[in-house]
Amino acid sequence: MQKLNKSLPNFSQAFSQLIALPSISSSQANWDQSNQSVINLLAAWFETLGFDITIQVVPNTTGKYNLLAKLGSGDGGLLLAGHSDTVPFDENPYSAFAAYLKTDEGVEVFKSIEKKLK
């Protein structure tokens, strides 16, 4: 697979982009949303890193997808597969947390986490 000429977001940007996407999974139809936007965003990031991407429709569902990201093959290969459901939230705590992420202190916390992950 050819690596695309795209830049990747830093940790704070990636986190903000992911939590901004509507993707609630629920057994209640009025809450349930597709996870396609999350899968597409993750697929674009992994594709930029040189992964081969496969997006699968989850059988017997509406708007639900799985992502497989493969790099290499055989003993030296890597396959990333994960769970992308987002549970319903209590709007007040979520709003407070989202607001915190936009403060200087919140940005510094995530910069610290990002630095430790490198």
Residue 24's SS3 state is strand
Spatial neighbors of 25 by CB under 8 A, at least 6 apart, are: 32, 33, 35, 64, 85, 86, 87
At residue 11's C-alpha, the angle toward residues 9 and 16, to 5°, is 80
pLDDT digits (tens), the chain, 118 positions: 455 557 899 988 898 898 889 888 888 888 889 999 999 999 999 999 999 999 999 999 899 999 999 999 888 899 998 778 777 665 555 566 667 777 888 788 878 877 777 6
CA distance 36 to 65: 6
Please give the model's pTM, rounded to 2 decimal places: 0.69
Choose among 59, 56, 63: nearest CA to 26.
Answer: 63
Q: Give the pLDDT score at 1.
A: 46
Domain ranges for the chain, please list them. 11-117
